[in-house]
Amino acid sequence: MHAPTDPTVHTHEATGSAIVTRFAPSPTGFLHIGGARTALFNWLFARKAGGKYLLRIEDTDRERSTQPAVDAILAGLAWLGLEADGPPTFQFTRAARHQEAATSLVASGGAYHCYLSKEEESALKEEARAKGLAFRSPWRDPDYGTPPTGASYVTRLRAPSDNTIIEVMDKVQGRVVTAGREIDDFILLRSDHTPTYMLAVVVDDHDMGVTHIIRGDDHLTNAARQSVLIKAFGWPVPVYAHIPLIHGDDGKKLSKRHGALGVDEYRRMGYLPEAMRAYLLRLGWSKGDLDIVSTDEALALFDLEGLGRSPARLDFVKMGSVNAHFIRLADDTRLMELLREQASQSGIDLSAIPDVILKAALPYLKPRAQTLPDLLDQLQFILAKRPITLDEKASKALSSEAIERIRRLRGELSLLIVWQHDEIKGSLDRFAGEENIGIGKIGPAVRAALTGGLAAPDLAVTMQLLGKQETLGRLDDII
C-alpha cells in the first residue's frame, strides 16, 4: 500500500494524475442533506473528469459508530444514485496500517510519545489557552526525561515551530495561512493505540490515492493540521475545496427542525432522486444563470470554480418546484411504480385503479403536482366510492335546473359507443350547443356530480378515466 512518492511534487494538482475523490461520512447517524450534497459534489467532480469517486466509512469512533447508520448511509447514497467506484473502505479495518504509519513518524521525528497524565494535560492546555497558544506537550522535547516505566502514553504530532507559516490552498476559500503556533500537538494514536480521525484520514486519503478533497468547511482549520501531518509523511497534499455548510431557513445551523433529515425522509416525502440532485447541486454551486441543471448536464459542467463561499439555506418551497419540474419529465411507467410504492407506504389502497387507467391519468396529473403525495391526492376522485360525497361548494352547484340538464346530458353520453376523450369532448360540446349554453353553465355541476368537489382534470378526461359505467352511475346518483 505504500505508493512511491516524488518529493518534488507537492500537490496532486501539479501531478496531473487521474482524479480521485471520496466521500467519508462517519456512521453516527443517517445521511443528512449536507452529507448528500458533499457526496454529490465529489461524485460529479470525479465522474466528469473520468476519475474515481470512493466511499470511506469513518468508523474509528467505536462508541458512536453503528451498523444501522452504515446501512442508512449506503441506502441513502444508493437512492440518490451516487454509486462509488468500488466497495466502501471501513476505516477501522485499517487500524494496523494507521499504527504502522504513526510508528514510522515517531521514528522519523515527526511524532512522539507523550506520557502526560490527564490532569497534567488539562492544566497545560488551560495554560496554553490563557496565553493564546496551541497546546504543546513537554514530551515533544527528546531530552524532557525518561518515560515512567509502564505508564501509558499517546502518540502526538510534533507540531511545527511557532513562526512557521502553514499555507493551505483551497479552491473555495482561497489561500488560508495559519501560524505554526496555532497548530497543537494533536493526538495520532490514543493511549489504547487506536488511531484518531486526524491520523486515519491522512493515511487513508494517501493510500486510497485521493487527489481532491471536497468536504464541509467545518474541516477548514483541520486542513492546516492535516497538511502538517501529510508533509511530515512526505506525501503530496491533495487539492482542497471546503464548501460552506447548509443552514436552516433562519440562517442558523441546520437542525432537525430545519430539514436536517435523513435522505430517506425526503424519499418518503415524495421527492425524486434526480430532483434532489438538481436542488442540492444549486445549493452552493452555480454556473451563470443556469437554474435547474439535470444530472447529465452537471456531469458535463460541474467545476470547483462554481462553488460558492457563503452558506446556503435550505428552502423547501424551491425544492418543491424543482421536484415538480422532474415529475413532469418523469417516465409514466416509472412514476406509476413509484406511486404504488408511495401509496402502500402511506396506507392508501390503489388497487381499485388498474395500471392502464393510472398510467393514462398521469400526463394530466403531473403538471399540477410537486410531490408523489400530491399525485396521490389527485387520484382521490377516481377512488371515491358511489354515492359520491359532495362538499358544500359541490352541492351548491347542483341546482334543480342543473340536475335537469345533467339528466339530459346523461342521455347523450349513454349513446356514446367509443368512450374516449375526443368523443366525450365532442358529446359535451354538442350538448352545450343544443342547450344553447356555454360549457361554463353546466360544467361545474357535472364536475360536482362526478367528483363531489375533489380536484380532477378536464371533464372529458375525468370521464374517460372514470369509465363510462362509473361516469353514468355517478350522474345517476344525483339525478
| Cell numbers given for 47 | 465522474
256 given a catalytic annotation: yes
CA distance 440 to 402: 12
Residues 115, 104, 189: CA angle, nearest 5 degrees: 40
Give the nearest distance from C-beta 442 to RNA in angstroms.
8
Give the nearest distance from C-beta 273 to RNA in angstroms.
19
Q: Does 89 bind RNA (CB under 7 A)?
A: no
Q: Does 447 bind RNA (CB under 7 A)?
A: yes
Contact with RNA (CB under 7 A) among 20, 284, 302, 384: 284
CA distance 51 to 410: 65
75 three-state secondary structure: helix
Residue closer to RNA, measured from CB, 80 or 243: 243
Q: Does 380 bind RNA (CB under 7 A)?
A: no
Residue closer to RNA, measured from CB, 367 or 411: 367
Residues 93-112 that bind RNA (CB under 7 A): none
Residue closer to RNA, measured from CB, 143 or 392: 392
Contact with RNA (CB under 7 A) among 111, 220, 336, 466: 220
Q: Does 207 bind RNA (CB under 7 A)?
A: no
Tell me the CA distances in angstroms from 270 to 267, 322, 340, one per residue in order. Answer: 5, 12, 12
> Binding segment for RNA among 68-76, 231-239, 414-422, 443-451 (CB under 7 A)?
443-451
The 212-216 sheet, strands edge to edge: 174-179, 165-170, 239-243, 212-216
Contact with RNA (CB under 7 A) among 213, 372, 456, 466: 456
Strand partners, 215: 242
Give the nearest distance from C-beta 180 to RNA in angstroms.
11
Residue of 413, 403, 406 lying closest to 460 (CA atoms) = 413
Give the nearest distance from C-beta 349 to RNA in angstroms.
22
CA distance 347 to 68: 25
Residue of 97, 302, 315, 336 lying closest to 212 (CA atoms) = 302
Residues 99, 211, 283: CA angle, nearest 5 degrees: 115
Residues 121-150 that bind RNA (CB under 7 A): 121, 125, 129, 132, 134-135
CA torsion, ordered 5, 9, 13, 16, to nearest 10 deg:
-70
Q: Does 22 bind RNA (CB under 7 A)?
A: no
Contact with RNA (CB under 7 A) among 187, 203, 362, 449: 187
Residues 459-478 that bind RNA (CB under 7 A): 459-460
CA distance 134 to 180: 9
Contact with RNA (CB under 7 A) among 443, 468, 470, 476: 443
Give the nearest distance from C-beta 329 to RNA in angstroms.
13
Q: Does 158 bind RNA (CB under 7 A)?
A: no
Give the nearest distance from C-beta 137 to RNA in angstroms.
10
Tell me the CA distances in angstroms from 126 to 155, 181, 187, 454, one per residue in order. Answer: 20, 15, 17, 68
Residues 311-370 that bind RNA (CB under 7 A): 311-313, 315, 317-318, 320-321, 367-368
118 is in an annotated binding site: no
| # chain residues binding RNA, by CB under 7 A | 81
Tally: H helices and E strands in the chain: 21, 10
CB 187 within 8 A of CB 125: no
Most distant CA pair in the chain, distance: 109
Give the nearest distance from C-beta 370 to RNA in angstroms.
8
In three state form, how does the secondary structure of 190-214 look? Answer: CCCCCECHHHHHHHHHHHCCCCEEE
The 111-114 sheet, strands edge to edge: 111-114, 154-157, 187-189
Provide the mask over 389-428, with x wherever binding to RNA is found by CB under 7 A and - wherever it is not: ----------------------------------------
Strand partners, 247: 253, 313
Q: Does 221 bind RNA (CB under 7 A)?
A: yes
> Binding segment for RNA among 32-40, 97-105, 192-200, 257-265 (CB under 7 A)?
192-200
CB 402 within 8 A of CB 442: yes
> Binding segment for RNA among 69-77, 93-101, 174-182, 345-353 (CB under 7 A)?
174-182
Q: Does 268 bind RNA (CB under 7 A)?
A: no
> Binding segment for RNA among 29-37, 60-68, 294-302, 336-344 (CB under 7 A)?
60-68
Q: Which one of 118, 125, 131, 256 is the catalytic residue?
A: 256
**Sole residue written with cell 488551560:** 126
| Cell numbers given for 270 | 415524495
Contact with RNA (CB under 7 A) among 42, 178, 227, 464: 178
> Binding segment for RNA among 176-184, 203-211, 268-276, 334-342 (CB under 7 A)?
176-184
Beta strand 165-170 pairing with 212-216: unpaired
Contact with RNA (CB under 7 A) among 251, 354, 411, 433: 251
Give the nearest distance from C-beta 181 to RNA in angstroms.
8
Q: Does 164 bind RNA (CB under 7 A)?
A: no
Q: What residues act catalytically?
A: 256
Residue numbering of the annotated binding site? 256
Residue numbering of the annotated binding site for ATP? 256
